[in-house]
Amino acid sequence: MDVAHVIQSALAPVFLISGVGVMLGVLTNRLARIVDRARVWEAEAEKEAHRAADLDARLQVLARRARYISSAITMCAISALLIALVVVALFANAFLAVQLSALIAILFVAAMLALTAAFLVFLIEVRIATAAIRIGRPL
């Protein structure tokens, strides 16, 4: 097998890694916003004791969201690692005297499962965030 064919075979996983990288950017930005908001509300809770219970409830929601986002980040990173291993295995399969087709398939399926789980956890976090939205002044 020539190098050009192996590179062609590895191109799709490389584009997939790019997409996972974009997703990681989205997730880390959401986590940063959650952390920033939590810091602001923690400071408010210290200054305004009469609002401490309300702010504590909001902080609990943020903590829950942060856990979900952190899990999604972990699963995306695992997916990217597995996809990178697929690319390595493709090259090893082409240039070494070993048959790695089954390993390549297993790694790719595992990467897709990790990415699917990451999207599912992200969906749960978005639903929690949407449920916690407060628009307007309290009545």
Structure tokens at 96: 């070494």
Q: What is the pTM of this model?
A: 0.86
* Residue 39 amino acid letter: R
Determine contact, residues 99/93, Cβ cutoff 8 Å: yes
- Give tens-digit pLDDT for 70-93: 999 999 999 999 999 999 999 899
**CA pair distance 80, 78, nearest whole angstrom:** 5
Helix, strand, coil percentages in the chain from 3-state DSSP, rounded to 5: 90, 0, 10
- Residue 6 pLDDT > 80: no
Which of 33, 32, 22 is closest to 115 using CA atoms? 22
Average pLDDT over residues 61-67: 96
